[in-house]
A and B are shown apart, each in its own frame.
Chain A
Amino acid sequence: GAVVSQHPSWVICKSGTSVKIECRSLDFQATTMFWYRQFPKQSLMLMATSNEGSKATYEQGVEKDKFLINHASLTLSTLTVTSAHPEDSSFYICSAPGGGARYEQYFGPGTRLTVT
């Protein structure tokens, strides 16, 4: 299947700092990417849809000014968690449609964020 990478794979930061997470499609282009968050023992929750060349679409309850998304190119989307707080500690995962007829999505390996 298609390959999606994420960087960093884990990060520990202090409360109040900002953290940038990169999501790249390695062998295909993605005009759309998705950002999810997963808390322990819970399922993935969609945060936002990242669109190349236009603004991201945020799900209800997700603060767009706190979670900044930039889809800089057809292979790169970034999520910046601004002024991070301990409650933002979570597993952040991106995905991209692989271009198959059934619109299956492929996931990056995830970024584990811990805010102290």
Chain B
Amino acid sequence: RKEVEQDPGPFNVPEGATVAFNCTYSNSASQSFFWYRQDCRKEPKLLMSVYSSGNEDGRFTAQLNRASQYISLLIRDSKLSDSATYLCVVNNRNAGNMLTFGGGTRLMVKP
């Protein structure tokens, strides 16, 4: 079983749609959680951290459920420019701050 699991997609949605991605992690010692975005042939870029209380940044909302070891990302009012691969990332500070990546979920927003 992978440490961080995501549905690979692709999710094909029309502009303006709301789309949600889920992620589960297996290491209960994980301490920090992030969503990164990666465009084709580019490096990952930090989209947002995920806090236990849930957090929102514009059209993006992230949720964390530590008991279920589950992380989500909600994108409202999808734009064409949101098309990318979204990586669920977990950090275990006890393991030298290593990041563990999910396989990514591919999103395609269409006109």
Q: Identify the A interface with B (CB < 8 A).
A: 1, 32, 34, 42-44, 46, 49, 57, 91, 93, 95, 97, 102-110, 112
Contacts and interface: CB of A to CB of B under 8 A. Distances in A.
Nearest to A44: B101
A105 B87 contact: no
Given A43-B104, A102-B49, A107-B45, A95 B98 contact: no
Nearest to B2: A43
Contacts of A1: 46
Contact of B102 (A43, A49, A97, A107): A43
| Range of interface residues on B (Cβ < 8 Å) | 20 to 34
B21 interface: no
User: Most A CB atoms within 10 A — which of B43, B87, B101?
Assistant: B43
A90 to B, nearest CB: 12
B97 A93 contact: no
Interface string B12-48: 0000000000000000000010100000011111100
Contacts, number: 52
B96 interface: yes
Contacts of B109: none
B99 interface: yes
B41 A91 contact: yes
User: Most A CB atoms within 10 A — which of B42, B46, B93, B102?
Assistant: B46
A34 B98 contact: yes
Nearest to A42: B103
Contact of B32 (A44, A102, A107): A102
Given A102-B32, A103-B91, A104-B49, A49 B96 contact: yes
